[in-house]
């Protein structure tokens, strides 16, 4: 596994690989890797790509209230895990080479960034879109793999790729969960033992939305109320949102006819957690099974 820090070197290396007619799969991360991140590398390898992971804690996507300095940094164990996963190249750029002192160009995020995380974390998606575009420039890959765990993030990146005609395919990969349903996240390490028990409330609330839909309850009002009640039962400490949204626009849907995305952001102790689930009407589930 090649570990590259230099920007000219990564570009040259990717150019070299592409000349060999090899396909490149990019996996952008901020490190503190867990099985969810590694599943993206695994997917790139399964698809027959040269897997290129990046590790960069992107300062521009952190707000003043988010603690950039506290973000976990575990480079040595990250590199070991990537090597074990068969990752081919890891790019770990120095921060001052990505953002020079005079850096002033940013991507204006697409409209799907407006609500939810975009509203609660002003500037977050501007930072995400900017770093992802930079990485796409430095590492002209054929495919980039992202986790559905960050559903709105994938929607923002897909819209940016479409709007700016970027020559790359975006693959959204399933969320990897702990055995009890909690979505894996770098932030889970901050949960105390007691928080960890309550954190599974997000998964329970999402699963309940699907069960209620199965039982014929398909209005936004009733599904959202059910999710909130389940979150309060956990109990989580506060709820930022618990909503039923359209899979493409992420605008709230009043009635779930076929499918929708249930999304939650809640705080457990001092840790903010997000999760989501695609919920489907019974007929759609049946059709998916027979396809
Ligand atoms: P991060 O390092 O948190 O920016 O995440 C890097 C990539 O890993 C993003 O595309 C995330 O959506 C993805 N990811 C994070 N957690 C999971 C998970 N539990 N399952 C699948 N992908 C994930």
- CATH annotation of 186-280: 3.30.1300.10
Confidence (pLDDT) at 67: 83
Query: Does ligand 1 come within 6 angstroms of the Cβ of 186?
Result: yes
- Ligand 1 centre distance from Cα of residue 150 (Å): 7
Q: Determine the atom of ligand 1 nearest the C-alpha atom of 148.
A: 12
Q: Which CATH class is domain 2-173?
A: alpha beta
Q: Compute the C-alpha angle 106/111/116, nearest 5°.
A: 100
Please check the confidence at residue 156 and state whether its pLDDT lies above 90: yes
- Ligand 1 centre distance from Cα of residue 283 (Å): 31
Query: Does ligand 1 come within 6 angstroms of the Cβ of 25?
Result: no
Query: Does ligand 1 come within 6 angstroms of the Cβ of 109?
Result: no
Confidence (pLDDT) at 21: 86
pLDDT grade for 289, boundaries at 50, 70 and 90: confident
**Residue 258: φ, ψ to 5°:** -115, -70
Query: Which of 25, 121, 147 to mutate for ligand 1's pocket (most ligand atoms within 8 Å of CB)?
Result: 147
In the sheet that 259-268 helps form, which strands lie side by side, from edge to edge? 238-245, 259-268, 271-280
Confidence (pLDDT) at 66: 84
pLDDT tens per residue across span 24-80 = 999 999 999 999 999 999 999 999 999 999 999 999 999 988 889 999 999 999 999
Confidence (pLDDT) at 189: 95
Mean pLDDT of the chain: 97
pLDDT tens per residue across span 96-155 = 999 999 999 999 999 999 999 999 999 999 999 999 999 999 999 999 999 999 999 999
pLDDT tens per residue across span 221-280 = 999 999 999 999 999 999 999 999 999 999 999 999 999 999 999 999 999 999 999 999
Report domain extents, the chain: 2-173, 186-280
Please check the confidence at residue 198 and state whether its pLDDT lies above 80: yes
The stretch 211-223 carries a mean pLDDT of 97
H, E, C per residue of the chain: CEEECCHHHHHHHHHHHHHCCCCEEEEEECCCCCHHHHHHHHHHHHCCCEEEEEECCCHHHCCCCCCCCCCCCCHHHHHHHHHHCCCCEEECCCHHHHCCCCCCCCCCCCHHHCCCHHHHCCCHHHHHHHHHHHHHHHCCCCEEEEEHHHHHHHHHHHHHHHHCCCCCEEEEECCCECCCCCECCHHHHHCCHHHHHHHCHHHHHHHHHHHHHHCCCCEHHHHHHHHHHHHHHCCCCEEEEEEEECCCCCCECCECCCEEEEEEEEEECCEEEEEEEEEECHHHHHHHHHC
pLDDT grade for 166, boundaries at 50, 70 and 90: very high
Q: Which residue's CA is the closest to the ligand 1 atom numbered 6?
A: 29
Does this chain's domain 2-173 share its CATH topology with 186-280?
Answer: no
Q: Which residue's CA is the closest to the ligand 1 atom numbered 5?
A: 29
Please check the confidence at residue 291 and state whether its pLDDT lies above 80: no
pLDDT grade for 210, boundaries at 50, 70 and 90: very high
Q: What is the rounded distance in angstroms from the CA atom of residue 56 to the CA atom of residue 249?
A: 29
Residues identified as active-site: 37
Higher pLDDT, 66 or 220: 220
């Amino acid at each position: 596994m090649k570990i590259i820090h230099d920007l000219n070197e990564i570009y040259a290396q990717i150019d070299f690989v592409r000349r060999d007619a090899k396909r490149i799969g990019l996996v952008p991360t901020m490190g503190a890797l867990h099985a969810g991140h590694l599943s993206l590398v695994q997917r790139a390898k399964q698809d027959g790509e040269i897997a290129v992971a990046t590790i960069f804690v992107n300062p521009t996507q952190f707000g003043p209230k988010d603690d950039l300095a506290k973000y976990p940094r575990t480079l040595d164990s990250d590199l070991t895990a990537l090597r074990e996963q068969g990752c081919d190249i890891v790019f770990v750029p120095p921060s001052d080479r990505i953002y020079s002192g005079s850096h002033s160009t940013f991507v204006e995020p697409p409209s799907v960034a407006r609500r939810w995380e975009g509203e609660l974390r002003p500037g977050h998606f501007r930072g995400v879109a900017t770093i992802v575009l930079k990485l796409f420039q430095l590492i002209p890959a054929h495919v980039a793999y992202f986790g559905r765990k960050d559903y709105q993030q994938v929607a923002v990146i897909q819209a940016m790729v479409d709007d700016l005609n970027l020559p790359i395919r975006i693959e959204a990969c399933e969320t990897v969960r702990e055995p009890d349903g909690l979505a894996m996240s770098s932030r889970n390490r901050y949960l105390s033992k007691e928080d960890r028990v309550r954190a599974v409330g997000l998964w329970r609330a999402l699963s309940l939305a699907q069960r209620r839909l199965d039982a014929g309850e398909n209005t936004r009002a009733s599904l959202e109320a059910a999710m909130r009640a389940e979150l309060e039962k956990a109990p989580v400490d506060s709820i930022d949102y618990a909503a039923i949204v359209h899979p493409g626009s992420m605008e709230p849907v009043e009635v779930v006819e076929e499918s929708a995305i249930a999304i939650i952001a809640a705080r457990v102790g001092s840790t903010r957690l997000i999760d989501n689930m695609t919920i489907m009407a019974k007929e759609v589930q049946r059709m998916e099974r027979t396809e």
